Structure 1
Amino acid sequence: MTTPTRPQADRPPFLDKTNPDVFAALGDVAGQVSDACEAAGLDRVDIELLNVAISQRNGCAYCTDLHTRRARKAGADQQLLDALPVWGESALFTDRQRAILDLGLTITSLPSPRRRRRAIRAGRRHLTVDQLAAVEWSAILMNAFNRVSIMSEHPVKRRSTPKNKG
C-alpha cells in the first residue's frame, strides 16, 4: 500500500477521482445489480458474504473492509464472517450460500469451461434463473470494483483501536 515516504511518481492515480464519470457509471451499474438481486429475492447478507469472499480472494483490503461492515449491517454474524475463508469446509453455511459462493468465486478465478458449468449446475439446484443471473452480475461487478481499488491502492483507515483482551 501507499506509504508517506513513497515518491509521488510511484503512486497510482485514484481511478475514482481521476475519472469520476466512469466511476459514477460503475456506481449506476451497482445500483442496477442491487435492484436485480432484490427483485430476484436474494438475501442481502448472502450477497455481502459473496462480496467479502471475492474481495478476500482478490486481495483487495479496501473492499474486504467495506463489505465486511456492510455484511454486519445487513445482519451477518461474526462467526459466519470468521468462517468465510473456509466456507467450503464449514457447516455454518446453507446449501444456497454455498452455491452463491461457489458460483461467484468461480467467476472470480475464471477456470475451465467444465468447472464453470459445474458451478452453474450447482447454482441451478438452489437458485432461480433470475437469482443465478443476479449472483453472476454481483460477482462480475465486485471483481471490477476490486480492480479499481487495488490499482488505485485505496487505503483502509482504522476506525478504532481494538483493546487487547488477553
Structure 2
Amino acid sequence: MTQRIDYMQQSSALFKKFVEFNMLVKDSAIETSSLDLVSIRASQINGCGFCLDMHVKQAKLHGERELRLYHVSIWRESTLFTPRERAVLAWTEALTTLPPHGVPDEVYDSVRDELTEKEISDLTFAVMAINAWNRINVAFRAVPGTLDVPYGLTKANLS
C-alpha cells in the first residue's frame, strides 16, 4: 500500500490545529487507558489500519496487557473490562456507527451510570477525534507503522 497524499504537508495549518485539539483531548477528564480503548475500538470499526496499529502500540507502552488488547473487539463477551470501560466502549461504538435513530437510551444510560457529565462530554470529543483521524488516514491510505520511529512506538516491541 502506498499513501495517496501527505495531508500533513498539504494542509499543514489544519493539521497543526487538529493536533492541538487532539492534545486537549488527551488532557481531558478521561483516563489514558480508556482513551486507548476508544482509539482502538473506533479504528477497528472504521477499518483504519494505520490508527489501529498506532494505538495498540501506544496502549502497550501505556502498560495495557496484551490479552485485553486482543479482547477489545469482543469486549461484550470478555470478562477483562470493568463496567466503566464497557460503558466507554458502548458509547464509542454508538457514536462511531451512529444508528439511524440516534444513540439508544440504554447506551446513554450505561455511560451516565459510570461517568460524570464532564467525562461524557470529554469522551464524546475523544470519539470525535479518533473518527476524524480514521477518516483522513483511510482516505489517504496512511501506511501502518510508518511513524513508529518518530513517535517512539518501536519500544512497544510489537513489530
- TM class by shorter-chain length? 0.7 to 0.9
User: Quick one: distance in 2 between partners of 1:150 and 1:141?
Assistant: 14
- The answer for unaligned runs of 5 or more in structure 2 is 147-153
Q: Write the letter of the residue equivalent to 1:18.
A: Q
Q: Rg bigger for which structure?
A: 1
Is 2:64 the partner of 1:87?
A: no
Is 2:133 the partner of 1:141?
A: no
Match of 2:57 in 1: 69
CA contact 1:53–1:101 (8 Å) conserved in 2: yes
Matches within 5 A, 1:41-120: 42-113=30-101, 115-120=103-108
User: Quick one: distance in 2 between partners of 1:26 and 1:76?
Assistant: 26
What is the CA deviation profile of residues 100-151 of structure 1, one whole-angstrom value per residue up to 9, with x for unaligned ones?
Answer: 0000111000113354433211100000111111111100100000111111
* Stretches of 4+ aligned residues off by more than 2 angstroms: 112-118, 157-162
User: Quick one: distance in 2 between partners of 1:147 and 1:30?
Assistant: 15
CA contact 1:110–1:116 (8 Å) conserved in 2: no
Query: Deviation of residue 31 (structure 1)?
Result: 1.2
TM-score (norm 1): 0.83
Which SS does the other structure have where 2:76 is aligned? helix
Match of 1:20 in 2: 12
Structure with a larger share of its residues in helix: 1
Report the count of equivalent residues. Answer: 150
User: Quick one: distance in 2 between partners of 1:161 and 1:118?
Assistant: 37
CA contact 1:68–1:81 (8 Å) conserved in 2: yes
What is the CA deviation profile of residues 12-62 of structure 1, one whole-angstrom value per residue up to 9, with x for unaligned ones?
Answer: 3222221111111110110111222xxx2x321111011011101100000
Identity of aligned residues (%): 25
Q: Write the letter of the residue equivalent to 1:143.
A: N
User: Quick one: distance in 1 between partners of 2:4 and 2:89?
Assistant: 31
